[in-house]
Structure 1
């Protein structure tokens, strides 16, 4: 008796044999460590028109988790839907929201009490969605000076403590401007050294690290153990260096994922900020197909 027949006999005797048990191993469902995530900003045009329909479509492609944006703290709404009702709709789609990008930058120069009030609102929304992370995603161009990066670190620590005390976690998301040289100083170095690692985690945008940092992805993770809890994964056009669908660009994610340290990673999100070959929904379709075929095995 060959090994396949022996396996079938054993499963039948133990009552485990089912249709899936006799399928070739190549077509059996695979359970990955991490949910395949999508930064919903990628499909922001579709989300404005039909947020739940857009998420339903993303779910059909294999995306199981998302990072949200567009919270209205005064009304406690996401895309015009009350946060608790939005959570019910997400549950019906079997889709989770593990993190959110919130509009802290527009409150950068406002009194700290105003900022902390907004943080309290974000905590309410995040808890209603059962999200783990609240993330600072952006610093407006007018604030990108070395002195303001020092101010930013203080704000990040304050928010981090507030969010942590509420039972959630806080993170900072990088772009390219943090790596700009200011007479020998970089904003990202100030953020890394000036924030409390226990209060301020990091969300690495791998595209922007590859695009603009003088340090590589592996080096940053090695130097900041315990901090890079989330990744943004997007590809870079081979010619223009703009965003691109997964697999169409120049970033060697197979090599990165097969060799990168993942012990601190909790969530990842596929993203494409623009430069769509056709439109945003087709881009998340193409990226999902490529990612599941070539990259998900590493995660």
Structure 2
């Protein structure tokens, strides 16, 4: 049996470990999370050859995916009925833990229309055994009033999705950090949404590109709320997207503590500016990630 002194010493060591840098407490454990891919990166490939694209991505080491392009009226992902797409995932022994859904068109729509759409999203996400439904974009005009309106909608959706047994998150770009006379849209979202209903998906490229904060600083302000990350690199000259390892972002330096973040899933992504082709880019990013970054996650 453990005596009181041993218990105190072990507890102290565990508590201290929480404050060690990522490279200290994670690198020796090996990967703790599935390597994920946001499928927007290879959207054309997914729409032209869904099965072949997923097979190729799995061969690169990707195990988990975030979808893009759900058709709510047809209940389809990439032209497949939800149940058919789930079978593809199951047969390949891969998962889809999150999806980006088209909420922005409902910003000024009646709440009944929004709730109907959310129900359709919940049905599709459940069919795939997703854990999160994600709001990915606010369309122009990006005024403070619209950020406040969107925050109201985020709370409504978050309550509905949470009641449906799933998680709900908001994905940032760079425009949320644009200054509006001392305020910005991201601060509005943080202040006016309920953290228990609206989680956050941090796009680290956009944080480094456009925000006054580092990812670590954002996590320290809202610990436990950043349940998902997007990881992509920034061209050293143009500051556009680029393959991991080709750009200016030092991920070893900027990655937050995943435990403090509340991290559940991460997804590599590249929204354009491919050196050769989308599939070659996700292969190159996977190779770099596995060699240099996966040990931390």
Give the TM-score taking structure 2 as reference length. 0.89
Deviation of 1:31 (Å): 5.6
Deviation of 1:287 (Å): 0.4
Per the alignment, residue 70 of structure 2 pairs with 71
Per the alignment, residue 95 of structure 1 pairs with 94
- Bigger relative CO (Cα 8 Å, ≥ 6 apart): 2
Range with bigger deviation, 162-171 or 248-257 = 248-257
Per the alignment, residue 12 of structure 1 pairs with none
Matched, 1:81 2:77: no
Per the alignment, residue 59 of structure 1 pairs with 58
Matched, 1:261 2:257: yes
Deviation of 1:77 (Å): 0.5
SS at match of 1:141: coil
Picking from 172, 175, 181, the partner of 1:174 is 172
Number of positions where the alignment pairs a residue of Structure 1 with one of Structure 2: 267
Per the alignment, residue 212 of structure 1 pairs with 210
Deviation of 1:136 (Å): 0.2
Q: Distance in 2 between matches of 1:31 and 1:206?
A: 22
1:221-260 aligned at under 5 Å gives the runs 221-257=219-255, 260=256
Matched, 1:297 2:295: yes
SS at match of 2:258: coil
Per the alignment, residue 38 of structure 1 pairs with 37
CA RMSD between the two structures: 0.9
Q: Distance in 1 between matches of 2:30 and 2:208?
A: 29
Picking from 267, 272, 275, the partner of 1:274 is 272
1:157-204: per-residue Cα shift (whole Å, max 9, x none)?
000000000000100000000000111110000000100000000000
| Conservation of the 8 A alpha-carbon contact between 2:47 and 2:79 | no
Q: Distance in 2 between matches of 1:253 and 1:222?
A: 17
Q: Which runs of 5+ in 2 are unaligned?
A: 1-28
Per the alignment, residue 157 of structure 1 pairs with 155
Q: Distance in 1 between matches of 2:246 and 2:117?
A: 39
Give the TM-score taking structure 1 as reference length. 0.88
| Conservation of the 8 A alpha-carbon contact between 2:68 and 2:99 | yes
Q: Distance in 2 between matches of 1:91 and 1:256?
A: 34
Q: Which runs of 5+ in 1 are unaligned?
A: 1-29
Per the alignment, residue 132 of structure 1 pairs with 131
Per the alignment, residue 11 of structure 2 pairs with none
Q: Report which of the two structures shows the higher radius of gyration computed on alpha carbons.
A: 1
1:48-84: per-residue Cα shift (whole Å, max 9, x none)?
1011211111000000000001101111100110001
Matched, 1:104 2:127: no
Q: Distance in 2 between matches of 1:160 and 1:226?
A: 16
Deviation of 1:34 (Å): 0.2
| Conservation of the 8 A alpha-carbon contact between 2:214 and 2:254 | no
